[in-house]
Every structure is written in C-alpha cells, then in structure tokens.
Amino acid sequence: MEKSSRLYEDRIKNAGKTPVEKASWSSVASLAGFTACLVAAGAFCISSGQVAVGIGLIVFGIVPCLAIIAMANNVVTQFMDGTRGAFFPQASAESFGPEAEKAFAIANKALSKPELAVAEANRKTESAATKAWFDDVRTSFDEVSITSEDGLRLVGHLLESNPRSANWLIYAHGFGGGWKNGLGIARHFAERGYNLLFIDMRAQGDSGGTVIGGGHLERRDLVQWCRWLAERSDEGSGIVLMGSSLGGAAALEAAGEKDLPQQVKAVVSDSAFADFWNEAIHAMGTLGANGKALPAHPLLDVVRLILRSRKGGYDIAEPSAVAAIAHAQAPVLIIHGADDQLVAPYNAVRLDEAATAAGIDHELLQVPSAGHCCAAMADPELYYGTIFGFIDRH
C-alpha cells in the first residue's frame, strides 16, 4: 500500500532510532564491585561477632551475581547455539507451509489489517508459484560442501538452472532458517537466467558448528563460498551475493573483505542489522526470554564475557556491518521493511549513512508496509524490480 506523506517518510527514517551504544566492561566491573563490597562487609560483620548480619550480606551479594551468570549461560546456549534460538528474529526454515506462515505473521504484526491483507495476498501468490517451481527442480539441486577456515564443514545447495549463463546468486539465510528459506528469491533469480548456490550458514541446517557468529564469523564463510564458486566458474562469471537478516549482515561484512573475488558484482542486503551489539540490546529489550523483555545490562555484558571464553566463541561487540560497508569491494543494495519491528529500520539508515560517508556505490530501498524480511511480499514488483535494476546497472 502506498504511503507518501512527509510524516510517514520521517517516521520510517527514524523508526526504532535509539542511541547507538559502544560496548564496555563497566557493567561487569560494577557487578563485580557490588558483589565484592557486600562479601567484604559480610566478612567484617562475621569477624565482629554479627554472624547473622554478615551471612545475610554475603548471600545478598553472591546470589544476584550467580543468578545473572546463570541467566547469561542460558542466553549463550539459546540464542548463540545453532541448535536452539529464542532471542533473535527467527527465520522459517521453509518458504511455504505452516512454519513459514507463522514466521510471516510474527514479522508483520505491526501492520494494519488492510496492509496485512495486501501482504498476505502477495504471499499466497508468491508461495504457490515458488512451490510449483521447486517441485519441478527439487531433485536437480546438488549438495556441495567446503571447509571453513576454522575447520567446519559448510554445506551448500547448488542448482545450475541456466547452464549457459555465467551469472550466479549466492544466498545466505537468517537466524533459525535454512537454505530453503530463500526459495522465493531463488525462483525469481532462476527466471532471470541465474544459477543458484544457497547455503546453510554455520551452526544451522546441515552445516557444522555450534556457535552462530552474528555475521562476523560467517563473513569469512561467505568469502570462501564466493572464491569456491569463482574458481569453478568461467573467468567472466558474475556473482551476486545476497543475504537476509543475519545473512544480510554477513554479506555486508563479507563485502568489506579485501580478498572478496572480483567476480562478485553486487551485494544485496535485506533486513540486516547495522551492528550485532546494538541489535542484541534491542532484541533483549523487545524479544527477551520467551517473550519477556530483559534489561540488557549487565546481563548482555556477562553473555559477552562468557562467549569470549567459549571454544569457538567470539566477542559479540565485534560484528559490525556498518563498519564493513565503508570498505565494500562491490556495489551494495540495502533493503529494509519500513515496518520492521524486529530489526528496526534505522539500521538501514545507519548503513546508508556509513556507505555515503565512505563514497561507496550503493542504494537504499525502504519498502512501506513491510515487516522483517517481508519486503518481497509487501511489494514484489518494487522489490525485485529494484534488485534486478540495481544489478543490471552494475
């Protein structure tokens, strides 16, 4: 549905705009200091003969700290481990069926009834066409694999739908998704003469690993996939690297890597977060645990500390698409739903501003009446028209 008023344009530009926070260890230091002071005070009371008061102070100091550590461990397990995901925007592993319908409803809960009716009608049309296409080509997909730089087996699904074409699409899905999550996109690209490589991100689907990397670990995986495809393709081949949500952030980080092969002609990012740390803060305050919002600090800071010490872990303050886009080695198209409640549209504005400041060849498309990763269903003509127009110009 068309929304053209200045008020609406200002609203979507600043939707979800919050102060951008830089990570620090101050909350962890405060928690440790609080605990140490109460334990020390308790010990002094006990040594002075006030045993009951001393024990009470020690318990009051230790129990909250232990509770926060336990909660943080639970968060690390649930939203960083690829076997379970409860804290971040969850993609459907499929493009159609009950799971996809549920994900669509959650992603578009902010839409009005008329807006939702339009998006739902488009979704049904797209899903029916995609299912019919996939039924025809399902058995033609080949499973391929590479080994990541840290030794994981990464799995992809390849379809040479147009063997005479030198054009390829590499697609990366989001949290909780899988390669089939992007089948609607696959169909449109196949119909435009592209061959397809749809991957299972690390710690998801059939790929190895137990830690989802916030787009930062995945950036190197995507560079490897691009290099693998470039090496097995003709010298004049052209690769489009595209991702949604987590996959979009990973694609942007990959775009900033110096060894991204020159065959990558364009990078398309849909519904990506600008940086993982601030998205984690947003997710903790909105999605929380089992739908219950949680204060970000000091919980998220303890999560950061635990994950840094975990085998295969990393610093969750490091993943930053907004930093990487300033070094993009290929033109970038940034797409975001204007009514995205899961990854606020202001993330796209931050990415756009960073690319503009760095002089990067890029475009920004904000799609009205579209929730998280649902721009293609809110307005398929605008969505795919913009993507292919952008690619054709580059």
What is the spatial distance between Cα 219 and Cα 224, in angstroms, rounded to a whole number? 9
pLDDT, one tens digit for every residue, the chain (394 residues): 444 444 444 444 555 566 688 888 888 899 999 999 999 999 999 999 999 999 999 999 999 999 999 988 887 876 555 544 445 555 666 666 777 788 888 888 888 999 999 999 999 999 999 999 999 999 999 999 999 999 999 999 999 999 889 999 999 999 888 899 999 999 999 999 999 999 999 999 999 998 899 999 999 999 999 999 999 887 778 999 999 999 999 999 999 999 999 999 999 999 999 999 999 888 887 765 555 677 888 989 999 999 888 888 899 999 999 999 999 999 999 999 999 988 999 999 999 999 999 999 999 999 999 999 999 999 999 999 999 999 999 9
Question: Among the residues of the chain, which ranges form H helices?
Answer: 6-13, 26-47, 51-75, 98-107, 113-137, 183-191, 216-232, 246-255, 276-286, 299-309, 321-324, 346-358, 375-378, 380-393
Q: Which two tokens stand for residue 112?
A: 């009005």
How many residues are present in the chain? 394
What is residue 91's predicted lDDT score, i.e. its pLDDT? 61
Which architecture, in CATH terms, is 98-275+319-393? 3-Layer(aba) Sandwich (3.40)
Residue corresponding to tokens 């840290």: 150
Give the phi and the psi of residue 125 in degrees, each rounded to 5.
-65, -45
- In three-state secondary structure terms, 46 is helix
What pTM was computed for the model?
0.89
* Half-sphere exposure at residue 275, Cβ-oriented, CA atoms within 13 angstroms: 18
What is residue 143's predicted lDDT score, i.e. its pLDDT? 97
Residue corresponding to tokens 């913009």: 386
